[in-house]
Structure 1
């Protein structure tokens, strides 16, 4: 009988190579509905304010960028534009996700993308010892410190959510 082999994603490979400690939390991806960020937080028992979703946008001056915000918040594109040096920022179409990031919708991690894009994480992440981010596939969440996310992504912490 073959042993179940744990899936190792690009995000995990990068964290392992950088000797960054993290924990994984698995969940049943088939049971996630429309508001999957909040559903995943509930399924994993991680408070929504500590569970961060990854969004990909395009700025009119700087191009592709990544933002991470708590699953129970909305990104403020004007604030994201200002902090990223753009006049205008818009979300990319879901069809572009895989080609740009190497990840599919629901499994986009700020760590281990095809290219290292400018990354902005909402400043509330710094209020916690650890936060949850996508593990790079549907069904896997990574728990690590905001500072370790910063080491892995060179992110900037900023206020990028709507009030």
Structure 2
């Protein structure tokens, strides 16, 4: 979605419908996770990556992973009960969510895919906000409850 106002409005509307208190802030581009965290005044672990993950049956799920960690594929496959999961190409990710890579957030996705969140995520966190140049801030526990997220050990330290 190239219109940032429409994308962030979609996120705000979805949050409102869930009774979720969010803040969306415009932010400058960052060249790295550490730079992004410094710009936002938070720790790298408090930037939560929303990854859209494709199942073999062409359905999807969202995996929420702390910025300083990565998906632990064997753990996620076991939790979901499948043998194969993969990250889709950018075009499929856009088709599955209505958001471009780097802006994906489970709020306002064109389909409400199941959400799996890493158990290490806590407190106030930043996520994509549906448009480039924006970040969404929310209480992690409130987000998980509003989305009915499955919270489990699905990450590992960055390689």
Pick closer, same or farther for the CA change 1:151–1:119 going to 2, 3 Å: same
Q: State how many pairs are aligned.
A: 152
TM-score (norm: length of structure 1)? 0.83
What residue number does 1:58 align with? 54
Deviations along 1:112-141, whole A, 9 cap, x unmatched? Answer: 10011111111011xx33221111111211
Q: Give yes or no for contact 1:111–1:149 (8 Å, CA) kept in 2.
A: no
What residue number does 1:159 align with? 153
Deviates more, 1:53-62 or 1:112-121: 53-62
Backbone CA RMSD of aligned residues: 2.0
Aligned to 1:9, the other structure's residue is in SS state helix
Q: Give yes or no for contact 1:59–1:81 (8 Å, CA) kept in 2.
A: no
Give the whole-Å Cα distance in 2 for the aligned partners of 1:65 and 1:38: 27
Aligned to 2:71, the other structure's residue is in SS state coil
Deviates more, 1:65-74 or 1:55-64: 55-64
Deviations along 1:42-63, whole A, 9 cap, x unmatched? Answer: 3212211111011111123683
- In structure 2, list runs of 5 or more residues that go unmatched: none
- In structure 1, list runs of 5 or more residues that go unmatched: 1-5
